[in-house]
C-alpha cells in the first residue's frame, strides 16, 4: 500500500510502498478515506525534538475517517464495511500506571507513552491503518450528512464538546468563546449552538472570520472584535453574567482577553481552558473567584463516549456542518497540504488528506 512516512532527516514526508498493516488482538483495520492535517504538523516535522514521536520511520496522521476491512476475533461492535471515526487518543486503563496518554501515529504526552507509540506507530496518512478497536466509532447517519473530509474535523469539535460537558452547559445558557475565529473556537461556536446555548459571545481578532462566524446565527451570536484599548470593557459589556467560558486562544496570545472573560462570568460560572501556551501566565482574582464561586478548569481532548454523542448530533442534523469548508490533498501532494495548513488562518476551514 501507499503511505507517507517521516524519517526525520528532512522536514517532510516521503510517499512509499509499505506492507499492509497486520491485524492484532483487540484491533481493527480500516481503509482510510480522510485524515485531518493539523496546523502544527509542519512545525513538528521541522523540529521533531519538541515532541515524543513514534520510532522512525512512521506514518503520521490523526483524526481519521475510514471503513472497516478487518476486525480481530476478540472485538465486538464493529462490522466489516461500516464507516467509522478513528480517535487516535489512547492511554492505559490501569489507574496506577505511569501516565502514558498519547495520540497514536503522532505524539505522546506522558512518560510511559512510548510503548504505545512503538506498538501502534502509524497513523492515517496511508491507504490503510490499524488501531485499537476502542478508538473506532461507527458513523451511522452522520456518514450521509457530511463527507469524510469534513468529518475528520471531529477531534476539534470534540475538544469543544468535552469542555462544555465538563462545564455543565445547559440549553439557554450564555457562553463566551474566546478565540472564536480559530479552529477550536469556531468549532465551539457550532457545538454551543447545537447544545442549545441561547447567547454566544464570540471573541476574536480576525474581523473577517468573526463576521463569518457571527452570520451562522445572527440572533444568538454576539461578535466582539478584539485588538483595541477598549477590549476589556467590550468583553465585560457583552459577556456579563455568562454561564460558561470556552477559552481557546492560540499559542503566544496575550492573556488579557482571558482575564476579562473570566471576570465577566456570572455567579457560579465555569471557565474551561482548552487553548495553547499564552505569552504569560494568567492571573486570577482570588477573592472574586471565591465570592462568585467561579470554577476554572483545564480540558484536554474529550472522553471516548463524546465521539458517539457528537456523531449522533451530526446524524440528526442538530450539529450542522454546512459552514465547514474542507480543502483536500491526495497522498502524493500531502506535503503541500501540510505547508498550507501551517500558514492558513483556518477558522471554519481545514485541510484533509484523502488517499
Whether residue 308 is contained in a domain is answered as no
Tell me the CATH number at 200: 3.40.50.720
- Based on the fold, state whether residues 219 and 349 are members of the same structural domain: no
> Model confidence at 291, in pLDDT bands (50, 70, 90)?
very high
Rounded-to-10 torsion of CA 50, 51, 54, 57: -30
Q: What is the tally of structural domains in the chain?
A: 2
Whether residue 17 is contained in a domain is answered as yes
pLDDT tens string 300-316: 999 999 999 999 999 99
CA distance 291 to 328: 50
Rounded alpha-carbon distances, angstroms, from residue 136 to 67, 72, 158, 165, 286: 10, 13, 14, 21, 42
> Model confidence at 322, in pLDDT bands (50, 70, 90)?
very high
Rounded alpha-carbon distances, angstroms, from residue 346 to 60, 182, 200, 327, 350: 21, 7, 20, 10, 6
Provide the pLDDT for residue 185: 96
> Model confidence at 345, in pLDDT bands (50, 70, 90)?
low
Whether residue 223 is contained in a domain is answered as yes
Whether residue 70 is contained in a domain is answered as yes
- Based on the fold, state whether residues 18 and 7 are members of the same structural domain: yes
Provide the pLDDT for residue 279: 84
- Based on the fold, state whether residues 144 and 179 are members of the same structural domain: no
Average pLDDT (50-74) is 97
Tell me the CATH number at 109: 3.90.180.10
Strands 107-108 and 102-103: antiparallel
- Based on the fold, state whether residues 264 and 332 are members of the same structural domain: no
Domain housing 249: 156-298
Mean pLDDT of the chain: 95
Q: Which residues contact 343 (CB under 8 A, 6 or more apart)?
A: none
Q: Which of 234, 123, 126 is nearest to 178 (CA)?
A: 234
- Based on the fold, state whether residues 6 and 91 are members of the same structural domain: yes
- Cβ-defined contacts of 232-238 (< 8 Å, 24+): 232/256, 232/259, 232/260, 235/176, 235/201, 235/203, 235/260, 235/261, 235/264, 236/260, 236/263, 236/264, 238/201, 238/264
- Based on the fold, state whether residues 35 and 138 are members of the same structural domain: yes
pTM: 0.95
- Based on the fold, state whether residues 149 and 168 are members of the same structural domain: no
pLDDT tens string 247-275: 999 888 889 999 999 999 999 999 999 99
pLDDT tens string 170-205: 999 999 999 999 999 999 999 999 999 999 999 999
Residue at grid coordinates 462568585: 292
- Based on the fold, state whether residues 168 and 39 are members of the same structural domain: no
Average pLDDT (98-115) is 93
Whether residue 312 is contained in a domain is answered as no
- Based on the fold, state whether residues 136 and 254 are members of the same structural domain: no
Amino acid at each position: 500500500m501507499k503511505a507517507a512516512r517521516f524519517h526525520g532527516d528532512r522536514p517532510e514526508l516521503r510517499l512509499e510502498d509499505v506492507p499492509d498493516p497486520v491485524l492484532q488482538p483487540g484491533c481493527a483495520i480500516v481503509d482510510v478515506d480522510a485524515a485531518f492535517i493539523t496546523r502544527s504538523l509542519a512545525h513538528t516535522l521541522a523540529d521533531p525534538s519538541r515532541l515524543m514521536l513514534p520510532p522512525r520511520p512512521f506514518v503520521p496522521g490523526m483524526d481519521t475517517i475510514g471503513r472497516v476491512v478487518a476486525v480481530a476475533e476478540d472485538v465486538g461492535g464493529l462490522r466489516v464495511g461500516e464507516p467509522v471515526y478513528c480517535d487516535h487518543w489512547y492511554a492505559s486503563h490501569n489507574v496506577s500506571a505511569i501516565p502514558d496518554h498519547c495520540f497514536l501515529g503522532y505524539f505522546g504526552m506522558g512518560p510511559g507513552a512510548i510503548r504505545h507509540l512503538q506498538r501502534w506507530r502509524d497513523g492515517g496518512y496511508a491507504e490503510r491503518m490499524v488501531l485499537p478497536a476502542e478508538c473506532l466509532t461507527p458513523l451511522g447517519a452522520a456518514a450521509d450528512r457530511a463527507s469524510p473530509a469534513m468529518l475528520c474535523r471531529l477531534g476539534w469539535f470534540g475538544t469543544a464538546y468535552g469542555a462544555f460537558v465538563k462545564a455543565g452547559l445547559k440549553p439557554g445558557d450564555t457562553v463566551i468563546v474566546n478565540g472564536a475565529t480559530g479552529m477550536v473556537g469556531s468549532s465551539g461556536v457550532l457545538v454551543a449552538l447545537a447544545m442549545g446555548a441561547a447567547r454566544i459571545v464570540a471573541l476574536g481578532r480576525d474581523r473577517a472570520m468573526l463576521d463569518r462566524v457571527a452570520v451562522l446565527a445572527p440572533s444568538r451570536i454576539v461578535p466582539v472584535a478584539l485588538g483595541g484599548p477598549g477590549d476589556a470593557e467590550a468583553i465585560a459589556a457583552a459577556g456579563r453574567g455568562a454561564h460558561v467560558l470556552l477559552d481557546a486562544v492560540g499559542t503566544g496570545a496575550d492573556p488579557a482577553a482571558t482575564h476579562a472573560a473570566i471576570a465577566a462570568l456570572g455567579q457560579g460560572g465555569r471557565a474551561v481552558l482548552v487553548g495553547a501556551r499564552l505569552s504569560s501566565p494568567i492571573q486570577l482574582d482570588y477573592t472574586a473567584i471565591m465570592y462568585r464561586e467561579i470554577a476554572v478548569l483545564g480540558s484536554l481532548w474529550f472522553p471516548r463516549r463524546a465521539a458517539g454523542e457528537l456523531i449522533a448530533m451530526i446524524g440528526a442534523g442538530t450539529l450542522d456542518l454546512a459552514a465547514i469548508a474542507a480543502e483536500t490533498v491526495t497522498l502524493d501532494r500531502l506535503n503541500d497540504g501540510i505547508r498550507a495548513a501551517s500558514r492558513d488562518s483556518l477558522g471554519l476551514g481545514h485541510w484533509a488528506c484523502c488517499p
